[in-house]
Amino acid sequence: MWVKILFIVYLIALVYTVIRILLDTDSTPKTLAYLLLVFVFPVFGMVFYFSLGVNYRHQKSTAEGVAQHYELDHKYQKEVADHTHELLRSSRDEIGHFEPLIRFLRKIGGEHLSQSRLSLLINGEEKFPDVLETLERAEHHIHMEYYAWENDQRGNQIKDVLLKKIAQGVRVRVLYDDFASAKIKKNVARELKEAGAEIYPQIKVLLWQLANRLNHRDHRKIIIVDGTVGFVGGINVSDRYDNSIDTGLFWRDTHVKITGPLVRSLQRHFTVSWNTSTPAKVEFGKDLFPDIEVVTSERFSLGQIVAGGPIYPKSNIMLSYFKIFTLAREKLYVTNPYFIPSDSIMDALKQAALSGVDVRLLLPFKSDSKIVGAASRFYFSDLLDAGVRIFLYKKGFVHAKTLVCDSMLSVVGTANMDIRSFDLNFEIMSVIYDKAFAQELENAFLKDLDECLEVSPEDWKKRGFLERLVYSVARLISSLL
């Protein structure tokens, strides 16, 4: 009797779980992985899904984010001058064959094309001194949004400058990821808050909401000072990104400093995140979005900012990568630490290589995640067969998220090339149309190749059955992460 009752209860729970998976999971690979899990491991699979897979408050938080994005963006598009069309007409040489990309980003994200001075920053030893100096010059406000902030040397140096600026009357607003920056809650965050900073987790982690909160992270790394100077890239606030500090592992990463009108695009996305995550809403105003004059005698680069996350109606990050790959004509050099591409990205890379484009991927030789590292290798065979060259960085760990296309276009940002960055995490990246900047980033890429082992297509085909099986299983598991 009891066996029949338990069996009926199990069937009802199974049907309910399957329906929830089908209705609530957008990604096809993730949907299939969850279904496989609940059928192969019935009880464990259901417990796993409802513990780590269900986004209990996703609809509520997404609705709030969409509302804030719409409200802010209406004012932004109305009040901030958009020079996209005139810059398209006057900058054909720098833009080249990437005009369709500019129009595409303007369409899907309302991203203005702007002129600004850009500085490439290689590793933390270049970024942190520049950041500290820029923070010291703040007069009105400092905005920061970071995935990981550590209670270490660099983390406390930045904290100390912020405390100093607060005492001088500068408004400090900070968003941090509650999961990755958990260590600063009782020290750095507390000290800043007590001094008068407005500091909040962008997505708060609560144990009973573990699923939603682990599946949506604020992966951005941005700083905005007075609405005129900004930083964006892959470098978190941590000593391990600074190779002048001995942490036992060389860390290769990239950031960019932006001075000029393009910073207003960074500010736009920070403000939406702030108003979505905190009770202290900020209003659109000239103090946050100042009119910035471009000095025509100085050299400027053209750029756009692209933001992604669950509040956006489209997968802006993935679509931007896809568009760039399909526009490539001669060279496409991509550096990324976490490479688990969607079918669309795979197809775009393969078609570029098969069309004669020199496509090169620079990935870690040893990932900081064994599952992700193994899953990445699942895709090597198809890419190598298409003519893509794959290089594995051996000097340390490569964490940069960059690309250079045709020695004209550059991308420096926070987005990995995986489902998390495409659909789940809040990400942001700069798209730069400038030959000199692209050449600088390309030179850095070619220099990094000296520290790499190139994957031989012939040797790769000699892999054993067990190795291939491990990569296939890791790829399946990665869809659940």
Enzyme catalytic residues: 219, 221, 226, 399, 401, 406
By C-alpha distance, which of 225, 234, 240, 258 is closest to 154? 240
Contacts of 2 (CB under 8 A, 6+ apart): none
CA distances from 314 to 89, 107, 222, 322, 327 (A): 28, 11, 22, 13, 20
Structural contact between residues 183 and 151, judged by C-beta atoms closer than 8 angstroms: yes
CA distances from 473 to 33, 375, 377, 466 (A): 11, 8, 11, 11
The SS3 of residue 335 is strand
By C-alpha distance, which of 453, 450, 448 is closest to 251? 448
Q: Pairing mode, if any, of strands 331-335 and 358-364?
A: parallel
By C-alpha distance, which of 146, 138, 267 is closest to 200? 146
CA 166 distance to own-chain centroid: 29
Contacts of 45 (CB under 8 A, 6+ apart): 17, 34, 37, 38, 39
User: Which residues on neighbouring strands pair with residue 304, listed in sequence order?
Assistant: 431
How many helices (H) and strands (E) are present in the chain, helices listed first?
20, 17
